[in-house]
A = this chain, B = another copy of it.
Amino acid sequence: MGNENNLALNKNVAVLIGGVGGTKLASGLIKVVAPARLTFIINTGDDFCHLGLKICPDLDTLMYTLAGSVDPDLGWGMAADSTTTLESLEQNYGVEPWFRLGDKDLATHLLRSQLLRQGQSLTAVTGCLARRLGLSARLLPMCDEAMPTIISTAEQGELGFQEYFVKHRWRPVVESIRHQNCEKAAMSPAVSAALEQADIILIAPSNPWLSVAPILAVPGLRAALKRADAPVVAVTPIIAGAAVKGPTAKIMAELGLTVSAAAVAEFYAGVIDGFVNDCRNEPLPAPNLRTVRLDTLMTDTIAKAALARNTLEWIAGWAA
Protein backbone atom coordinates (compact mmCIF):
# COMPACT_ATOMS: atom_id res chain seq x y z
CA MET A 1 0.00 0.00 0.00
CA GLY A 2 3.06 2.27 0.43
CA ASN A 3 3.03 3.40 -3.14
CA GLU A 4 -0.59 4.47 -3.27
CA ASN A 5 -0.20 6.12 0.10
CA ASN A 6 2.58 8.30 -1.32
CA LEU A 7 0.40 9.07 -4.32
CA ALA A 8 -2.32 10.31 -2.02
CA LEU A 9 0.12 12.33 0.05
CA ASN A 10 1.26 14.26 -3.00
CA LYS A 11 -2.21 15.18 -4.18
CA ASN A 12 -4.00 18.49 -3.72
CA VAL A 13 -7.18 17.56 -1.91
CA ALA A 14 -10.17 19.89 -1.65
CA VAL A 15 -12.98 18.95 0.74
CA LEU A 16 -16.53 20.25 0.82
CA ILE A 17 -17.42 20.07 4.48
CA GLY A 18 -19.91 21.05 7.18
CA GLY A 19 -19.93 20.60 10.93
CA VAL A 20 -19.16 17.87 13.44
CA GLY A 21 -19.81 14.83 11.16
CA GLY A 22 -17.47 15.97 8.42
CA THR A 23 -14.68 17.01 10.76
CA LYS A 24 -14.00 13.36 11.64
CA LEU A 25 -12.87 12.79 8.08
CA ALA A 26 -10.92 16.06 8.21
CA SER A 27 -9.05 14.76 11.28
CA GLY A 28 -8.15 11.66 9.27
CA LEU A 29 -7.11 13.59 6.16
CA ILE A 30 -4.75 15.83 8.11
CA LYS A 31 -2.85 12.66 9.11
CA VAL A 32 -2.41 11.29 5.61
CA VAL A 33 -2.16 14.37 3.36
CA ALA A 34 0.45 17.11 3.73
CA PRO A 35 -1.56 19.89 5.43
CA ALA A 36 -0.41 22.50 2.92
CA ARG A 37 -2.06 20.41 0.17
CA LEU A 38 -5.41 20.32 1.97
CA THR A 39 -8.15 22.88 1.34
CA PHE A 40 -11.47 22.81 3.16
CA ILE A 41 -14.43 24.57 1.57
CA ILE A 42 -16.72 25.06 4.51
CA ASN A 43 -20.46 25.55 4.89
CA THR A 44 -21.31 29.01 6.22
CA GLY A 45 -25.08 28.63 5.89
CA ASP A 46 -25.17 28.07 9.67
CA ASP A 47 -23.51 31.43 10.37
CA PHE A 48 -25.45 34.01 12.28
CA CYS A 49 -25.10 37.15 14.33
CA HIS A 50 -25.52 36.76 18.06
CA LEU A 51 -24.90 39.45 20.66
CA GLY A 52 -23.50 41.55 17.82
CA LEU A 53 -20.89 38.90 17.03
CA LYS A 54 -20.49 36.96 13.81
CA ILE A 55 -20.61 33.27 14.70
CA CYS A 56 -19.44 30.68 12.14
CA PRO A 57 -20.12 27.31 13.79
CA ASP A 58 -18.81 25.00 11.04
CA LEU A 59 -15.69 27.07 10.41
CA ASP A 60 -14.92 27.10 14.12
CA THR A 61 -15.60 23.41 14.66
CA LEU A 62 -13.19 22.49 11.88
CA MET A 63 -10.61 25.09 12.95
CA TYR A 64 -10.62 23.95 16.57
CA THR A 65 -10.55 20.29 15.52
CA LEU A 66 -7.53 20.71 13.27
CA ALA A 67 -5.78 22.88 15.89
CA GLY A 68 -6.33 20.16 18.49
CA SER A 69 -8.24 22.52 20.76
CA VAL A 70 -11.78 21.23 20.18
CA ASP A 71 -13.83 20.01 23.12
CA PRO A 72 -13.44 16.23 22.75
CA ASP A 73 -16.80 15.45 24.37
CA LEU A 74 -18.94 17.97 22.51
CA GLY A 75 -17.09 17.74 19.19
CA TRP A 76 -17.38 21.55 18.92
CA GLY A 77 -16.33 24.52 21.03
CA MET A 78 -13.00 24.77 22.79
CA ALA A 79 -11.77 22.16 25.26
CA ALA A 80 -12.04 22.91 28.99
CA ASP A 81 -14.01 26.08 28.33
CA SER A 82 -16.19 28.00 30.80
CA THR A 83 -19.31 30.12 30.21
CA THR A 84 -18.80 33.00 32.63
CA THR A 85 -19.82 35.74 30.18
CA LEU A 86 -22.95 33.83 29.20
CA GLU A 87 -23.89 33.37 32.87
CA SER A 88 -23.27 37.07 33.53
CA LEU A 89 -25.52 37.97 30.60
CA GLU A 90 -28.26 35.82 32.07
CA GLN A 91 -27.84 36.61 35.76
CA ASN A 92 -27.06 40.33 35.48
CA TYR A 93 -29.03 41.28 32.39
CA GLY A 94 -31.69 38.59 31.88
CA VAL A 95 -30.40 37.54 28.45
CA GLU A 96 -31.56 34.00 27.66
CA PRO A 97 -28.48 31.83 27.01
CA TRP A 98 -29.97 29.64 24.28
CA PHE A 99 -26.75 29.56 22.24
CA ARG A 100 -23.73 28.33 24.16
CA LEU A 101 -20.68 30.56 23.77
CA GLY A 102 -17.64 29.55 25.79
CA ASP A 103 -15.31 32.16 27.23
CA LYS A 104 -12.28 30.87 25.28
CA ASP A 105 -14.43 30.48 22.18
CA LEU A 106 -15.63 34.08 22.56
CA ALA A 107 -12.11 35.23 21.69
CA THR A 108 -12.62 33.81 18.19
CA HIS A 109 -15.95 35.56 17.69
CA LEU A 110 -14.65 38.88 19.02
CA LEU A 111 -11.58 38.84 16.82
CA ARG A 112 -13.47 37.69 13.73
CA SER A 113 -16.20 40.31 14.22
CA GLN A 114 -13.63 43.04 14.69
CA LEU A 115 -11.65 42.09 11.57
CA LEU A 116 -14.85 41.83 9.50
CA ARG A 117 -15.93 45.29 10.68
CA GLN A 118 -12.56 46.60 9.58
CA GLY A 119 -13.57 45.57 6.08
CA GLN A 120 -11.73 42.29 5.59
CA SER A 121 -13.54 39.46 3.78
CA LEU A 122 -14.59 36.33 5.66
CA THR A 123 -12.06 34.42 3.54
CA ALA A 124 -9.24 36.72 4.64
CA VAL A 125 -10.36 36.73 8.28
CA THR A 126 -10.66 32.93 8.35
CA GLY A 127 -7.17 32.60 6.90
CA CYS A 128 -5.84 34.98 9.54
CA LEU A 129 -7.49 33.11 12.44
CA ALA A 130 -6.39 29.70 11.13
CA ARG A 131 -2.77 30.84 10.69
CA ARG A 132 -2.69 32.29 14.20
CA LEU A 133 -3.92 28.93 15.47
CA GLY A 134 -0.97 27.38 13.70
CA LEU A 135 -2.83 25.59 10.88
CA SER A 136 -1.16 24.89 7.55
CA ALA A 137 -4.27 23.51 5.87
CA ARG A 138 -6.35 26.14 4.07
CA LEU A 139 -9.78 26.86 5.51
CA LEU A 140 -12.10 28.67 3.09
CA PRO A 141 -15.67 29.76 3.80
CA MET A 142 -17.89 28.62 0.90
CA CYS A 143 -18.37 32.31 0.00
CA ASP A 144 -17.80 35.75 1.50
CA GLU A 145 -21.44 36.82 1.46
CA ALA A 146 -23.88 35.86 4.21
CA MET A 147 -26.09 33.11 2.79
CA PRO A 148 -28.15 31.88 5.74
CA THR A 149 -29.86 28.51 5.55
CA ILE A 150 -33.56 28.93 6.30
CA ILE A 151 -35.54 25.88 7.40
CA SER A 152 -39.24 25.82 6.67
CA THR A 153 -40.90 23.75 9.39
CA ALA A 154 -44.39 22.39 9.92
CA GLU A 155 -44.68 23.59 13.53
CA GLN A 156 -42.69 26.84 13.66
CA GLY A 157 -42.78 28.17 10.10
CA GLU A 158 -39.44 29.47 8.82
CA LEU A 159 -36.52 29.23 11.22
CA GLY A 160 -32.95 30.43 10.97
CA PHE A 161 -30.53 27.53 11.11
CA GLN A 162 -29.44 27.98 14.72
CA GLU A 163 -33.02 28.54 15.86
CA TYR A 164 -33.95 25.24 14.24
CA PHE A 165 -30.84 23.36 15.28
CA VAL A 166 -30.03 24.72 18.73
CA LYS A 167 -33.08 26.55 20.09
CA HIS A 168 -35.58 23.94 18.89
CA ARG A 169 -33.04 21.04 18.97
CA TRP A 170 -33.98 19.95 15.40
CA ARG A 171 -37.36 18.78 16.68
CA PRO A 172 -39.63 20.60 14.16
CA VAL A 173 -40.54 18.68 11.00
CA VAL A 174 -38.60 20.05 8.02
CA GLU A 175 -40.72 20.88 4.98
CA SER A 176 -38.11 22.58 2.84
CA ILE A 177 -34.75 24.32 3.04
CA ARG A 178 -33.69 27.47 1.24
CA HIS A 179 -30.50 29.47 0.98
CA GLN A 180 -31.31 33.12 1.62
CA ASN A 181 -29.39 35.73 -0.31
CA CYS A 182 -27.82 33.08 -2.60
CA GLU A 183 -28.63 35.21 -5.67
CA LYS A 184 -26.25 37.86 -4.28
CA ALA A 185 -23.48 35.43 -3.35
CA ALA A 186 -20.65 34.28 -5.61
CA MET A 187 -17.94 31.67 -5.49
CA SER A 188 -14.83 33.37 -4.12
CA PRO A 189 -11.59 33.45 -6.16
CA ALA A 190 -9.98 31.30 -3.44
CA VAL A 191 -12.64 28.57 -3.72
CA SER A 192 -12.50 28.71 -7.51
CA ALA A 193 -8.70 28.30 -7.48
CA ALA A 194 -8.84 25.47 -4.94
CA LEU A 195 -11.28 23.50 -7.11
CA GLU A 196 -9.20 24.14 -10.25
CA GLN A 197 -5.96 23.07 -8.59
CA ALA A 198 -7.40 20.05 -6.78
CA ASP A 199 -6.34 16.55 -7.78
CA ILE A 200 -9.13 15.04 -5.71
CA ILE A 201 -12.35 16.68 -4.49
CA LEU A 202 -14.14 15.07 -1.57
CA ILE A 203 -17.57 15.68 -0.09
CA ALA A 204 -17.24 14.91 3.61
CA PRO A 205 -19.90 12.78 5.39
CA SER A 206 -21.64 15.94 6.59
CA ASN A 207 -25.41 16.33 6.45
CA PRO A 208 -26.11 16.58 2.68
CA TRP A 209 -29.20 18.76 3.09
CA LEU A 210 -28.10 21.03 5.94
CA SER A 211 -24.33 21.23 5.45
CA VAL A 212 -23.41 20.38 1.86
CA ALA A 213 -26.44 21.72 -0.03
CA PRO A 214 -25.60 25.33 1.02
CA ILE A 215 -22.10 24.93 -0.46
CA LEU A 216 -23.54 23.52 -3.71
CA ALA A 217 -25.99 26.45 -3.79
CA VAL A 218 -23.21 29.03 -4.05
CA PRO A 219 -23.59 30.41 -7.58
CA GLY A 220 -20.90 28.99 -9.87
CA LEU A 221 -19.82 26.22 -7.53
CA ARG A 222 -21.69 23.33 -9.16
CA ALA A 223 -20.36 24.41 -12.55
CA ALA A 224 -16.83 24.64 -11.12
CA LEU A 225 -17.13 21.06 -9.80
CA LYS A 226 -18.23 19.89 -13.29
CA ARG A 227 -15.38 21.82 -14.92
CA ALA A 228 -12.75 20.52 -12.49
CA ASP A 229 -10.27 17.91 -13.75
CA ALA A 230 -10.36 16.24 -10.33
CA PRO A 231 -12.78 13.42 -9.58
CA VAL A 232 -15.48 14.38 -7.08
CA VAL A 233 -16.18 11.73 -4.45
CA ALA A 234 -18.70 11.78 -1.60
CA VAL A 235 -18.46 9.74 1.58
CA THR A 236 -21.75 8.39 2.93
CA PRO A 237 -23.15 9.96 6.10
CA ILE A 238 -25.65 7.08 6.34
CA ILE A 239 -24.56 3.80 7.88
CA ALA A 240 -26.97 0.88 8.18
CA GLY A 241 -30.01 3.09 7.64
CA ALA A 242 -29.08 5.67 10.24
CA ALA A 243 -26.92 8.74 10.75
CA VAL A 244 -24.08 8.41 13.24
CA LYS A 245 -25.16 11.66 14.88
CA GLY A 246 -27.46 14.58 14.16
CA PRO A 247 -30.61 15.01 12.09
CA THR A 248 -29.61 13.57 8.67
CA ALA A 249 -31.86 10.48 8.88
CA LYS A 250 -34.71 12.43 10.48
CA ILE A 251 -34.62 15.05 7.72
CA MET A 252 -34.44 12.43 4.95
CA ALA A 253 -37.59 10.81 6.32
CA GLU A 254 -39.31 14.18 6.63
CA LEU A 255 -38.42 15.03 3.02
CA GLY A 256 -40.00 11.72 1.92
CA LEU A 257 -36.72 9.95 1.14
CA THR A 258 -35.58 6.44 2.04
CA VAL A 259 -32.91 6.68 4.71
CA SER A 260 -30.16 5.06 2.65
CA ALA A 261 -26.76 5.73 1.14
CA ALA A 262 -28.44 5.28 -2.25
CA ALA A 263 -30.68 8.31 -1.58
CA VAL A 264 -27.62 10.38 -0.64
CA ALA A 265 -25.81 9.32 -3.81
CA GLU A 266 -28.93 10.23 -5.75
CA PHE A 267 -28.98 13.68 -4.06
CA TYR A 268 -25.40 14.23 -5.34
CA ALA A 269 -26.22 12.98 -8.87
CA GLY A 270 -24.58 15.18 -11.50
CA VAL A 271 -22.00 16.37 -8.98
CA ILE A 272 -20.08 13.25 -7.98
CA ASP A 273 -18.01 10.75 -9.94
CA GLY A 274 -17.58 8.35 -7.06
CA PHE A 275 -19.21 7.36 -3.79
CA VAL A 276 -17.71 5.78 -0.69
CA ASN A 277 -20.41 3.54 0.72
CA ASP A 278 -20.18 1.91 4.12
CA CYS A 279 -19.27 -1.78 4.36
CA ARG A 280 -22.42 -2.29 6.46
CA ASN A 281 -24.69 -0.95 3.66
CA GLU A 282 -26.16 -2.70 0.62
CA PRO A 283 -24.17 -2.14 -2.60
CA LEU A 284 -25.46 0.89 -4.56
CA PRO A 285 -27.54 0.24 -7.66
CA ALA A 286 -25.70 3.03 -9.51
CA PRO A 287 -24.18 1.85 -12.80
CA ASN A 288 -22.78 5.28 -13.76
CA LEU A 289 -20.99 5.85 -10.45
CA ARG A 290 -17.74 4.39 -9.18
CA THR A 291 -18.44 3.02 -5.71
CA VAL A 292 -16.52 1.28 -2.99
CA ARG A 293 -17.55 -0.08 0.39
CA LEU A 294 -15.31 0.93 3.30
CA ASP A 295 -15.64 1.16 7.06
CA THR A 296 -16.86 4.77 7.40
CA LEU A 297 -17.80 4.72 11.10
CA MET A 298 -14.64 6.57 12.30
CA THR A 299 -14.89 5.61 15.97
CA ASP A 300 -11.33 6.69 16.79
CA THR A 301 -8.22 8.42 15.47
CA ILE A 302 -6.95 5.30 13.72
CA ALA A 303 -10.30 4.68 12.00
CA LYS A 304 -10.44 8.33 10.84
CA ALA A 305 -6.99 8.14 9.24
CA ALA A 306 -7.77 4.71 7.77
CA LEU A 307 -10.94 5.97 6.04
CA ALA A 308 -9.05 9.01 4.71
CA ARG A 309 -6.18 6.84 3.42
CA ASN A 310 -8.44 4.14 1.96
CA THR A 311 -10.61 6.70 0.21
CA LEU A 312 -7.66 8.56 -1.34
CA GLU A 313 -5.94 5.32 -2.35
CA TRP A 314 -9.10 4.04 -3.96
CA ILE A 315 -9.44 7.25 -6.01
CA ALA A 316 -5.72 7.32 -6.87
CA GLY A 317 -6.15 3.80 -8.22
CA TRP A 318 -8.71 4.97 -10.83
CA ALA A 319 -5.94 6.37 -13.01
CA ALA A 320 -4.10 3.03 -13.02
A114 to chain B, nearest CB (A): 4
Complex formed: what's the CA distance from A81 to B82 in Å? 12
Please report the total number of A residues contacting B with Cβ < 8 Å. 31
Decide if A88 is an interface residue (CB 8 Å cutoff).
yes
The verdict on A133 contacting B92 (CB below 8 Å), with A53-B110, A82-B82 known, is yes
From B52, B84, B92, B129, contact of A82 by CB (8 A):
B84
Q: Contact between B132 and A52 (Cβ–Cβ < 8 Å)?
A: no
Q: A1 in the interface, Cβ–Cβ < 8 Å?
A: no
Given A52-B114, A114-B52, residue A92 in contact with residue B107 (CB < 8 A): yes
A192 at the interface (CB under 8 A from B): no
- Whether the Cβ atoms of B110 and A89 lie closer than 8 Å is yes
- A residues bordering B, Cβ < 8 Å? 51-53, 69, 78, 81-82, 84-89, 92-95, 103-108, 110-111, 113-114, 117, 129, 132-133
- Nearest CB of chain B from residue A287's CB, rounded to whole Å: 49
Selected contact of A88 from candidates B51, B92, B94, B107, CB within 8 Å: B107
Contact of A103 among B84, B108, B113 (CB under 8 A): B84
- A115 shortest CB reach to chain B, Å: 9
Knowing that A87-B104, A89-B110, A92-B107 touch, tell me 10 more A-B residue pairs with CB under 8 angstroms. Answer: A51-B110, A52-B117, A82-B82, A82-B103, A84-B103, A89-B111, A92-B132, A93-B129, A94-B132, A95-B107
Q: A52-B117, A113-B52 are in contact. Are A107 and B89 (CB under 8 A)?
A: yes
